[in-house]
Amino acid sequence: MVHLASVPQDHEINAGTLPEAVKKISMQLSNDEDQFTTSIYGSRFAGEDLPRHEIPENEMPRDIAYRMIKDELSLDGNPMLNLASFVTTYMEEEAEKLMTESFSKNFIDYEEYPQSADIQNRCVSMIARMFNAPTSDENCIGTSCVGSSEAIMLGVLAMKRRWKNKMKALGKSTENPNIIMSSAVQVCWEKAARYFEVEEKLVYCTKDRFVIDPEETVNLVDENTIGICVILGTTYTGEYEDVKSVNDLLVKKGLDTPIHVDAASGGFVAPFVIPDLEWDFRLERVVSINVSGHKYGLVYPGVGWVVWRSAEYLPKELVFNINYLGAEQSSFTLNFSKGASQVIGQYYQLIRLGKKGYRAIMSNLTRTADYLSSALEALDYTIMSKKSGEGLPLVAFRLKEDADRNWDEFALAHKLRARGWVVPAYTMAPHTENMKMLRVVVREDFTKNRCDALICDIKLCSGLLDSMDKDSIKKHDEFVRRHTMRSSVSKHNHPEYKNEEHSLQGKHGKTHSIC
């Protein structure tokens, strides 16, 4: 059937319109005409400064906003040439697509996004079993975090509260808790201790030892010790600390002091490269472990994981039960809302690669690190990191002592920066006589071909520095500090908190490398 439409008469047109009183309501709304040009760079926005301090009065077209910000970001360095960082810089397109599609999901809302929550639980189970968590008579427990920093904060909170409950039960003072750790810890451990008012008992490195001494570590234990941090892959040299020796000494002395293993970097490496190394829940005093998914877990930042041997080691009073998102749920995190993307990305990598895939990648990285170590030794550098999988796939190295040399590790780092490489130069942890060193982190996308390019540039830059006199090197370093390194001209730090030497200096006088 065809529907016929009648044409209304003039007096019918205004029938049913708004009352006159409503018509008189006046609103001052924008009605500016859009500006169209043949090119983004032909628009007026290309000739104006980008807004910096105040929200602009008017809008701009989306394609122009995108291009202006993209152009601004092009001034950043190339992440693949940033050999200072452990953070993942490559993921497959399918993983990126899954993560993009999850941007709008608030992960904390378990009722609305039950599959995302279930995927987190699957990841926790897989990672806990990778760490040999007991699954027969104990219920292992874990959660995702923004990164290992949050995971470590949660681990310290759990150890402190459990110690406090124990001391209360014994009728003893809960004042002055302490935690034992290496002086080579990453800065997040110092943050955790300071934020949660726990005294730091440090086991200092030496010129010949860059990790904790197990005997010295256990000797520091007293009744106020909430736990011991042992690092599976230090930030400085990538060496694995001896978790088993610390555990065995505690057992021998009858001490029930818990161990938290900071496996931020090594947790996804050691199980696949040296699976027989005992550092995880196979050791009875190890009660909690953290790992960074965005490091060798091969996920973009930021995601971390923390796992406890059983619920016994996570006091109930730290876990909050809420229902204002539509259903009862438990929460133990420092933040609340967060995106689901990184958890989805972690699950993709775990099932996409499997144990065989992770083993293949970590084996390649270990071979590349060993190859780079051998090449640098041939160039007469001293290697400070371990080979053959005894540490992380990184190369820490320094110059041999030479009184006639006019340049140091920092000068080499500056020269390499001019070639596009970011290779950090820094001083070793306290009590090592300000030993200078450089470090190259071998990540998934650092292939042998790229490694060869770095070796050639190190040789080239070393030769250039050898040909320069002391004054020329000093002028070059000053130029780099003032005009190349962003830290010297940064405006993002409030002057009240900015270090005059442009480095993150801990209270123990050490300069932290940033991951």
Between CA 106 and CA 435 the distance in angstroms is 46
Cα distances (angstroms) measured from residue 175 to each of 170, 200, 202, 502: 14, 14, 19, 36
Between CA 84 and CA 480 the distance in angstroms is 17
- Which alpha helices (DSSP H) does 379-493 contain, by range? 409-418, 448-466, 470-479
- Is residue 407 domain-resident? no
Residue 327 gets the label, from left (phi > 0), alpha (psi -120 to 50) or beta, of beta
DSSP structure class, residue 299: -
- Is residue 142 domain-resident? yes
The one-digit pLDDT tens for each residue of the chain (515 residues) are: 455 666 777 766 665 566 776 666 666 666 556 555 568 888 888 888 889 889 999 999 999 999 999 999 998 888 999 999 999 999 999 999 999 999 888 877 767 778 888 999 999 999 999 999 988 766 889 999 999 999 999 999 999 999 999 999 999 999 999 999 999 999 999 999 999 999 999 999 999 999 999 999 999 999 999 999 999 999 999 999 999 999 999 999 999 999 999 999 999 999 999 999 999 999 999 999 999 999 999 999 989 999 999 999 999 998 877 665 555 666 677 777 788 899 999 999 999 999 999 999 999 999 999 999 999 999 999 999 999 999 999 999 999 988 788 899 999 999 999 899 999 999 998 888 889 999 999 999 999 999 999 999 999 999 999 988 888 888 877 877 776 666 555 555 666 766 654 443 344 444 443 34
Residues forming beta bridges with residue 182, ordered by sequence position: 203
Contact present, 338 and 108 (Cβ < 8 Å): yes
Between CA 173 and CA 224 the distance in angstroms is 9
Contact present, 301 and 346 (Cβ < 8 Å): no
DSSP structure class, residue 339: B
- Is residue 197 domain-resident? yes
- Is residue 406 domain-resident? no
Token readout for 68 is: 């202006």
Residues forming beta bridges with residue 259, ordered by sequence position: 228, 286
- Is residue 503 domain-resident? no
- Which alpha helices (DSSP H) does 131-197 contain, by range? 148-169, 187-195
| pLDDT (0 to 100) of residue 76 | 86
How many other CB atoms sit within 10 Å of the CB of residue 288? 26
Bond prior to 302 in cis (omega within 30° of 0): yes
Instruction: Compute the radius of gyration of the chain from its Cα atoms.
Output: 28
Q: Which residues contact 290 (CB under 8 A, 6 or more apart)?
A: 145, 148, 151, 152, 155, 260, 261, 262, 263, 264, 267, 304, 305, 306, 307
Number of structural domains found in the chain: 1
Q: Residue 303 belongs to what domain range?
A: 96-348
- Is residue 74 domain-resident? no
Helix, strand, coil percent content, the chain, rounded in steps of 5: 40, 15, 45
First to last CA, the chain: 72
| pLDDT (0 to 100) of residue 507 | 40
Contact present, 258 and 227 (Cβ < 8 Å): yes
Token readout for 131 is: 């760490």
Angle at 428 between CA 220 and CA 286, to 5 degrees: 40
Contact present, 261 and 279 (Cβ < 8 Å): yes
DSSP structure class, residue 277: -
Between CA 509 and CA 506 the distance in angstroms is 5
Residue with tokens 């190859």: 371
Between CA 368 and CA 348 the distance in angstroms is 25
| pLDDT (0 to 100) of residue 512 | 42
Residue 102: which CATH number? 3.40.640.10
How many other CB atoms sit within 10 Å of the CB of residue 243? 26
How many other CB atoms sit within 10 Å of the CB of residue 439? 24
Bridging pattern class, strands 286-292 and 259-262: parallel
Among 430, 416, 379, which residue's Cα sits nearest to residue 400? Answer: 379
Contact present, 86 and 431 (Cβ < 8 Å): no
Between CA 189 and CA 156 the distance in angstroms is 9
Between CA 411 and CA 344 the distance in angstroms is 42
Helix (H, G, I), strand (E, B) or coil at 163: helix
Cα distances (angstroms) measured from residue 287 to each of 86, 223, 244, 267: 25, 18, 13, 15
Token readout for 239 is: 């060496």
CA atoms within 13 A on the CB side of 248: 8
| pLDDT (0 to 100) of residue 11 | 66
Among 297, 316, 313, which residue's Cα sits nearest to residue 305? Answer: 297
**Stated length of the chain:** 515
Cα distances (angstroms) measured from residue 240 to each of 160, 231, 280: 25, 6, 12
| pLDDT (0 to 100) of residue 24 | 67
CA atoms within 13 A on the CB side of 455: 22
Token readout for 451 is: 């490694």
- Is residue 15 domain-resident? no
| pLDDT (0 to 100) of residue 279 | 98
Contact present, 235 and 214 (Cβ < 8 Å): no
- Is residue 199 domain-resident? yes
How many other CB atoms sit within 10 Å of the CB of residue 3? 4
| pLDDT (0 to 100) of residue 227 | 98
Between CA 259 and CA 124 the distance in angstroms is 20
